[in-house]
Structure 1
């Protein structure tokens, strides 16, 4: 490690905040904590009817994962927010259990693949309870994120081609093999509730 001379104005803290934090914490106990928030997901789903009861659906999803991070000691540390943006393609098989007037009760199961298209951590470096420097670290995640899902739902068919649905379900996310800490790794099995519009074709 290159030695850094810290002047009274801590100018080198601004020049190299991470290196300065490591020097300040030399010989002291440090820790890393990460608090993940519930992912936010939007999507467009298209359903293709294979039979009156069975259909195949796919589309495009966008997911935003945020986490609060803290690393360092008691007096010298950084805090920040990690933000990850994923684009995904789901493929589900949907079976309609019951239809009554404009309402459908159904079950579905499938797989989804996601790609992290961008990510960053906004860091705030603190020395003796005073914020000294800020920086943004870009994150690059190459592996794909795979997951399995199952759900039951109810859909109100606004028209023959468009439906409004509410869909509680469960998902399991596989480890993508990267070193990045996400809610997918901390809690691979998660319950969720999806609400949205579904475009129906092939009926």
Structure 2
């Protein structure tokens, strides 16, 4: 995406907000650890729609700020504040994975604002701490408890990594990438939350 972000301050977090195009207003959010580039690949700009994307706290170019815990509610509140600042009264809410959860949260809590939903690869179940999210927690705990290089080596040698190596190498690459993030320690808090 070629457009430069505007910076929106929420609490003490500087959030990157991308507002592109004109026409049908759509708020579309990235997945866990993603950014506006992920959104652009999956939901490209179009002259017939206006797309607003907020890079969530500690993701993309956005700062983490000091408020905790990280949560879908926190991210949704940030997105709604960006929609308010952009004077988007009603909009289609959408997203990928975690972004789909944010969109659903907006629709459930602000039904008068959301005119439709686009949910891509939703990342939720009805159980707290579902099994499919356990690898993120495993990575986060290693980042929290060990130096990054050691944490990566431990994870790379784990049973989880072995399973992903044979079943889902692209997912393994994504998980290993978390150890190389510039903000790996703070992002580990996001994964644990």
Q: TM-score interval w.r.t. the shorter chain? A: under 0.3
Greater C-alpha Rg: 1
The structure richer in strand per residue is 1
Q: TM-score, normalised by structure 1?
A: 0.23
**Structure with the largest fraction of helix:** 2
* Superposition TM-score, scaled by structure 2 size: 0.23
